[in-house]
Structure 1
Amino acid sequence: MDDRQFRTAMGKFATGVTVIATDVEGDVHGMTANAFMSVSLSPKLVVISIGENARILEKIKQSNSFSVNILAADQQELSMIFAGQIKEHREVVFDRLDGKPVLAGAVAQIACEVSAEHVEGDHTLFIGKVTDIHLEDAEPLIFYSGRYRALTEEKTLV
């Protein structure tokens, strides 16, 4: 199999869209990612996967902390900004949750301290100990097969 076929196959898994953020000496850095999952309920742990060429990789290592912002359906522009798809500068305002930078309006804001990191292939997996969570009642932004999507209500037969 070639790289393109592998990428296409991985794109067939529908995911939410997150922005990973970290703060180094007052400067906030963020990146759009869909490589995120929960790991453990006790203790509360999550994992993010960051590519070796991502600028945020060294920033997370420096700060030893990060946030995961699960984007709402109306936050596609934020996803595109942090994915580098929108080139012109846009000001993004961050709130704080347990001292970590978070995006207002996200379905979930998850503040984490790095508890472990593992290099696997061309990515580093950061295990984050969850220190705080904030939830909003909103629909999530979905990504599937290279396109943004939205949830639709399932119709039930009576």
Structure 2
Amino acid sequence: MTPRARQQTPAAAQSRAAVSPDTSSSIDPREFRRTLGRFATGVTVITTVSGATVHGMTANAFMSVSLDPPLVTVAVDHRARMHRLLEETGRYGVSILAENQELLARHFGGRPQVSEEPRFEWQHGLPLIEGAVAHLVCRIVQAVPAGDHTLFIGQVEHLDCRDGAPLLFYGGNYRCLEVQLHDSGAWWW
């Protein structure tokens, strides 16, 4: 043991142990959703292909997981058709939407927009939303059950991005990023 080795406290040992979620929570699901809605996120459309049919779903429960290997994850409700499709296809595309693509977010969120026909560009056999600020093509390497969702962890096989402002989701509404210019000397970085 080195002189700087730390003793493991009971709390630290417990935090490393696998903990099962308590399903008897007193947290109101609506209040949980409202509270977490205060965390601004980007808006993505997750896509896959089954046969000759393109399927898409709007998701803001998306994040990076690892740089090496490059991994991302998306959370998908067990009841969603996309859940079954991802289990079948084993691959998905991610389009990070631009600020002018709110109608597409609504379309793939279950509110079809008659005036907004989705246009795709294809990369590595998967459809990606044309005009999005970023694209990723992923192969599912792990599916982790998490409550009423599954985390589909995907290894990134292709990516690209372009300049542009993203579409955001905050407080249950779509928003746009406001860019504010500040004196760089006033910030910690």
User: Which bracket does the TM-score occupy, shorter chain normalised?
Assistant: over 0.9
Q: Could you tell me how far apart the structure 2 residues matched to 1:89 and 1:156 are?
A: 39
- Out of 135, 138, 150, the residue aligned to residue 124 of structure 1 is 150
SS of equivalent to 1:60: helix
- Out of 125, 137, 147, the residue aligned to residue 111 of structure 1 is 137
Shift of 1:53: 1.0
Mapped pair 1:96 → 2:122: yes
> What letter matches 2:56 in structure 1?
G
Shift of 1:3: 1.0
Q: Could you tell me how far apart the structure 1 residues matched to 2:127 and 2:83 are?
A: 16
> Structure 1: which 5+ residue stretches go unaligned?
none
Q: Could you tell me how far apart the structure 2 residues matched to 1:93 and 1:31 are?
A: 14
SS of equivalent to 2:135: strand
Mapped pair 1:24 → 2:50: yes
Q: Could you tell me how far apart the structure 2 residues matched to 1:16 and 1:45 are?
A: 17
Q: TM-score, normalised by structure 1?
A: 0.95
Greater RCO (CA < 8 Å, at least 6 residues apart): 1
Shift of 1:85: 2.4
Look up the match of 2:168. 142
- Out of 56, 71, 77, the residue aligned to residue 97 of structure 2 is 71
Larger radius of gyration: 2
Deviations 1:63-87 (A, max 9, x none): 1000111000010010000001236
Shift of 1:155: 2.9
Q: Could you tell me how far apart the structure 1 residues matched to 2:117 and 2:133 are?
A: 21
Shift of 1:88: 4.5
For residues 145-156 of structure 1, what are the structure 2 equivalents within 5 Å?
Answer: 145-156=171-182
Shift of 1:2: 0.9
- Out of 13, 33, 36, the residue aligned to residue 10 of structure 1 is 36
Mapped pair 1:59 → 2:85: yes
Mapped pair 1:80 → 2:110: no
Structure 1 segments of 4 or more deviating over 6 A? none
> Structure 2: which 5+ residue stretches go unaligned?
1-26
Q: Could you tell me how far apart the structure 2 residues matched to 1:114 and 1:155 are?
A: 40
Look up the match of 2:8. none
> What letter matches 2:171 in structure 1?
S
> What letter matches 2:87 in structure 1?
K
Q: Could you tell me how far apart the structure 2 residues matched to 1:153 and 1:60 are?
A: 36
Mean alpha-carbon deviation: is it higher for 146-155 or for 125-134? 146-155
Task: Please tell me the root mean square deviation across aligned C-alpha atoms, in Å.
Answer: 1.4
Q: Could you tell me how far apart the structure 2 residues matched to 1:44 and 1:37 are?
A: 12
Q: Could you tell me how far apart the structure 2 residues matched to 1:91 and 1:149 are?
A: 21
SS of equivalent to 1:80: helix
